[in-house]
């Protein structure tokens, strides 16, 4: 599953499928022994719970790596990682140039010395997790005010995390589960030196592009390789030339045996966010008010980026990662809305809620929960009109990419304004800003940004009633010109002409002689500042009230729901903490007379192939030759090479790059996507339609070995038959 852009906290709601089935659930590894071991064995798992999660001995958890927004797995004694191509896409793009176009050509390091630095990339491995609910909620009861509750929880979690971090040795965080009804501590060892080792050309790693995204059948070689580096004591360290490859506690063996339909499949990773405890009013808010705006605004930005990317190779490289990430989210929101309507999810949720309310009002229930859902509906009704204003302000009003430099320059401005000035502090702030600006402008194009701003402001003026526009935007609409297009164009041209943030030359000139006056008069700063002030005065109060109301209601509702369905085993929503999901290799039938097989082969690559190098379905000539000759080596099965396969595992964004393992804990594939028919999966789990799309590890090894000649990397792994 690819990373989804969760634009604001307003989109983060929760929901539950009241009738959990065995394949459903993203389970905490520490609870597998108590909750899942028996059922996993029935599915075919041969591993013990201790082989999966153990804090005293090496276990599978020690080979599962968080890359913040994605997952990776350790597959060699030298800290080699598999993840998805789209997870490493930014790293590939940042290391690319017109002269060294790793996006189009691929990249393969033949030695440790050739591996490329990835600034800012971290790799975190879970050390342990612990239930700290009693400690966090100590002294809190139903009579505790919302403000006191928040402070007491904040103080407790801060103290617990600080103690567990052991003076910076570990990264420790306390996460709430079940909408604040339970709390768990997660302790990680975080490595800060991660390097790019290998990646296929995007004609393989991104084969099918936006057209095939979220679709099945799939033929995408969505993989790449990274490596963790540590100091000479095998401990985390900042990037340094003399760091050495990390020696892991556990390495996942790579299986060449393959699989058949019905075989056990297990995935471990760091799913980002599910919303399985959402109420029907919350679902309606998402479907009718949030998603349509994001679909519209993201779509226009993507269209504008693409036009500029197609016209200039340099711009295409600069904006490839940004475009891919937003395109993924845009298509996700479209699919989610279509699925909610097609599957009649909201109607089903209302029936479940009616049963809950009837129970709460009965003699067997609890009056505490009787009005929770009606209160939630009232809160949503009072907030609906504000959602579009908030989204347009942030996505359209603040669409200028160059505004990112405001924060970078603010520290310089503040130091320059001091009387007397601290020369050393000013020099440090300037150097930091110069470094950050170099990174920013490497992937920035002024004309592209200008085009986006014009389109976004035009949509802002057209779609939000004039009476509700911020003064800064209303002023543009009232400017000189025969049409809104003319007014916006003149205003935007002037904005970009006069701002110090819209070109590297102007920004560096200001850094050479910074002053607060020119900074505070800069039109990009003024626009963003006025929009922030409008938000603070007009929108934020309603948003904060809504969030405070619904946070309390969601917590109490789920508390009641767990009492109402006391015969069910509940699992917590995904929240970027390590989870395990298990199920089987499985095909599906999404519609009448449509039956999808559970795997694809290289035959499908040839069937989709286009000769045009700009096509999403372009295939390198060498790959075509290998496929036609069936030169698959040891990676074939009965004369064919499988490319991708399906499981019914329960995953979401953040699981991208997660290992797909067989009954022995051996790697058979890498999870990289979900299927279009189950785009409601973050809200409800549909056992008939929900599938995980995985790239077959044998196709991965074939590309590395036979196509790229990266046999040195294949030889690092422990291959099993």
Kindly report, residue by residue over 386-401, the tens digit of the pLDDT: 999 999 999 999 999 9
User: Catalytic residue numbers?
Assistant: 86, 222, 656
User: 3-class SS at 670?
Assistant: strand
Residue 567 maps to a domain: no
Residues 309 and 348 in one domain: yes
Q: Which residue has the tokens 């059922």?
A: 39
Average confidence score pLDDT of the chain? 94
Residue 255 maps to a domain: yes
CB 590 within 8 A of CB 615: no
CA distance 308 to 313: 9
Residues in CB range of 158: below 8 A, 6 or more apart: none
Residues 184 and 94 in one domain: no
Kindly tell me if the per-residue pLDDT of 23 is higher than 90. Answer: no
When pLDDT is averaged across residues 204-210 and rounded to a whole number, the result is 96
Last residue of a domain, one of 500, 521, 542: 542
CA-CA-CA-CA dihedral for 282, 284, 286, 291, to nearest 10: 180
CA distance 464 to 394: 13
Residues 577 and 630 in one domain: yes
Query: Residue 447: which pLDDT band, with cuts at 50, 70 and 90?
Result: very high
Q: What is the pLDDT of residues 571-591, one digit of tens each?
A: 999 999 999 999 999 999 999
Kindly tell me if the per-residue pLDDT of 18 is higher than 90. Answer: no
Residues 342 and 465 in one domain: yes
Kindly tell me if the per-residue pLDDT of 6 is higher than 60. Answer: no
Residue 554 maps to a domain: no
- The phi and psi torsions of 709 (rounded to 5 degrees) equal 70, 25
CB 655 within 8 A of CB 674: no
Last residue of a domain, one of 137, 154, 188: 188
**Number of helices (H), then strands (E), in the chain:** 28, 22
CB 69 within 8 A of CB 272: yes
Q: What is the pTM of this model?
A: 0.90
Please give the pLDDT value at position 17.
39
CA distance 417 to 434: 18
Q: Which residue has the tokens 């075919």?
A: 44
**Half-sphere exposure (Cβ direction) of 91: Cα atoms closer than 13 Å:** 26
Residues 133 and 40 in one domain: no
Residues 180 and 250 in one domain: no
Residue 449 maps to a domain: yes
Helices (H), 500-574: 504-512, 516-521, 523-534, 540-564
When pLDDT is averaged across residues 680-697 and rounded to a whole number, the result is 95
Longest dimension (CA), the chain: 78
Last residue of a domain, one of 526, 542, 558: 542
Residues 165 and 268 in one domain: no
Residue 556 maps to a domain: no
Tell me which residue range forms the domain holding 642: 9-122+192-276+573-720
Helix, strand, coil % over all residues of the chain, rounded to 5: 50, 15, 35
CATH number of domain containing 686: 2.40.10.120
CB 468 within 8 A of CB 397: no
DSSP H or E run through 204: helix 202-205
CB 643 within 8 A of CB 690: no
Residues 253 and 329 in one domain: no
Residues 178 and 217 in one domain: no
Query: CA 431: distance to chain centroid?
Result: 31
Please state, in angstroms and as integers, the Cα–Cα distance from residue 586 to each residue in 22, 47, 242, 601, following that order. Answer: 14, 21, 46, 16
CA distance 460 to 469: 8
Query: Residue 22: which pLDDT band, with cuts at 50, 70 and 90?
Result: very low
How many domains does the chain fold into? Answer: 3
Query: CA 235: distance to chain centroid?
Result: 27
Residue 550 maps to a domain: no
Please choose, from the candidates 635, 634, 643, the residue with its C-alpha nearest in 3D space to the C-alpha of residue 694. 643
Query: Residue 9: which pLDDT band, with cuts at 50, 70 and 90?
Result: very low
Residues 271 and 287 in one domain: no
Kindly tell me if the per-residue pLDDT of 701 is higher than 70. Answer: yes
Kindly tell me if the per-residue pLDDT of 432 is higher than 90. Answer: yes
Write the DSSP symbol of residue 574: P
Q: What is the pLDDT of residues 545-576, one digit of tens each?
A: 999 999 999 999 999 999 999 988 999 999 99
CA distance 180 to 145: 15
User: 3-class SS at 177?
Assistant: strand
CA distance 631 to 25: 40
Tokens representing residue 638 in the block: 């009965």
CA distance 187 to 164: 7
Please give the pLDDT value at position 379.
96
Q: What is the pLDDT of residues 623-657, one digit of tens each?
A: 999 999 999 999 999 999 999 999 999 999 999 99
Kindly tell me if the per-residue pLDDT of 7 is higher than 90. Answer: no
User: 3-class SS at 610?
Assistant: strand
Query: Which one has a higher pLDDT value, 23 or 615?
Result: 615
When pLDDT is averaged across residues 58-86 and rounded to a whole number, the result is 98
Residue 552 maps to a domain: no
CA distance 101 to 89: 12
Please give the pLDDT value at position 421.
83
Q: Residues of the chain with pLDDT > 70: what percent?
A: 97
Residue 553 maps to a domain: no
Q: What is the pLDDT of residues 329-339, one digit of tens each?
A: 999 999 999 99
Residues 162 and 221 in one domain: no
Residues 235 and 336 in one domain: no
């Amino acid at each position: 599953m690819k990373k989804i852009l969760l634009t604001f906290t307003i989109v983060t709601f929760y929901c539950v499928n009241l009738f959990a089935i065995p394949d459903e659930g993203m389970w905490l590894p520490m609870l597998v022994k108590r909750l899942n071991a028996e059922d996993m064995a029935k599915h075919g798992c041969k591993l013990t719970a201790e082989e999966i999660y153990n804090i005293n001995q090496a276990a599978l958890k020690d080979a599962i790596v968080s890359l913040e927004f994605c997952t990776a797995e350790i597959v060699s004694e030298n800290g080699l990682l598999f993840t998805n191509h789209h997870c490493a896409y930014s790293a590939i793009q940042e290391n690319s140039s017109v002269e060294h176009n790793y996006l189009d050509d691929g990249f393969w390091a033949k030695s440790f010395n050739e591996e490329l630095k990835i600034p800012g990339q971290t790799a975190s491995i879970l050390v342990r997790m612990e239930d700290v609910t009693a400690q966090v909620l100590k002294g809190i009861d139903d009579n505790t005010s919302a403000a006191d509750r928040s402070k007491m929880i904040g103080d407790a979690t801060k103290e617990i995390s600080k103690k567990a971090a052991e003076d910076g040795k570990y990264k420790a965080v306390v996460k709430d589960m079940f909408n604040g009804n339970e709390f768990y501590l997660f302790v990680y060892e975080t490595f800060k030196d991660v390097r790019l080792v290998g990646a296929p050309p995007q004609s393989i790693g991104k084969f099918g592009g936006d057209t095939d995204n979220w679709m099945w059948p799939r033929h995408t070689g969505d993989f790449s390789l990274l490596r963790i580096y540590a100091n000479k004591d095998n401990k985390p360290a900042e990037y340094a030339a003399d760091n050495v490859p990390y020696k892991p506690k556990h390495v996942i063996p790579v299986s060449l045996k393959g699989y058949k339909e019905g075989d056990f499949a297990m995935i471990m990773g760091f799913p980002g966010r599910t919303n399985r405890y959402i109420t029907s009013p919350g679902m309606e808010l998402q479907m009718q008010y949030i998603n349509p705006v994001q679909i519209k605004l993201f779509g226009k930005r993507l269209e504008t980026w693409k036009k500029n990317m197609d016209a200039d190779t340099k711009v295409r490289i600069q904006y490839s990662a940004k475009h891919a990430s937003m395109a993924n989210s845009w298509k996700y929101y479209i699919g989610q809305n279509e699925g909610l309507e097609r599957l009649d999810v909201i109607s089903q949720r209302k029936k479940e809620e009616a049963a809950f309310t009837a129970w709460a009002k009965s003699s067997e229930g609890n009056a505490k929960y009787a009005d929770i859902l009606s209160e939630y509906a009232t809160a949503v009704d009072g907030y609906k009109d504000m959602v579009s204003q908030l989204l347009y302000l942030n996505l359209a009003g603040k669409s200028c990419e160059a505004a990112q430099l405001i924060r970078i320059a603010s520290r310089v401005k503040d130091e320059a304004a001091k009387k007397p000035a601290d020369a050393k502090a000013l020099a440090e702030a300037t150097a930091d800003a110069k470094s950050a600006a170099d990174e920013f402008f490497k992937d920035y194009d002024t004309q592209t940004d200008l085009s986006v701003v014009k389109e976004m402001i035009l949509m802002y003026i057209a779609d939000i009633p004039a009476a509700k526009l911020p003064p800064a935007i209303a002023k543009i609409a009232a400017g000189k010109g025969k049409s809104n297009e003319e007014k916006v164009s003149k205003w935007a041209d002037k904005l970009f002409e006069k701002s110090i943030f819209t070109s590297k030359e102007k920004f560096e000139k200001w850094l050479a002689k910074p002053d607060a006056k020119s900074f505070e008069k800069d039109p990009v700063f003024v626009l963003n500042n006025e929009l922030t002030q409008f938000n603070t005065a007009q929108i934020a109060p309603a948003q904060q009230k809504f969030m405070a109301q619904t946070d309390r209601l969601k917590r109490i509702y789920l508390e009641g729901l767990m009492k109402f369905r006391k015969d069910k085993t509940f699992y917590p929503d995904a929240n970027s903490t390590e989870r395990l999901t298990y199920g089987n290799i499985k095909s599906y039938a999404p519609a009448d007379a449509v039956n999808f097989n559970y795997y694809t082969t290289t035959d499908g690559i040839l069937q989709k192939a286009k000769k045009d190098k700009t096509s999403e379905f372009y295939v390198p000539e060498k790959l075509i030759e290998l496929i036609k000759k069936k030169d698959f080596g040891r990676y074939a099965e009965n004369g064919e090479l499988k490319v991708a396969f399906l499981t019914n595992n329960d995953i979401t964004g953040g699981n991208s790059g997660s290992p797909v393992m067989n009954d022995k804990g051996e790697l058979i594939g890498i999870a990289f996507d979900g299927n279009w028919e189950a785009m409601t999966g973050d809200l409800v789990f549909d056992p008939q339609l929900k599938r995980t799309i995985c790239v077959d590890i044998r196709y991965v090894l074939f590309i590395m070995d036979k196509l790229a000649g990266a046999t040195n990397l294949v030889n690092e792994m422990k291959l099993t038959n």
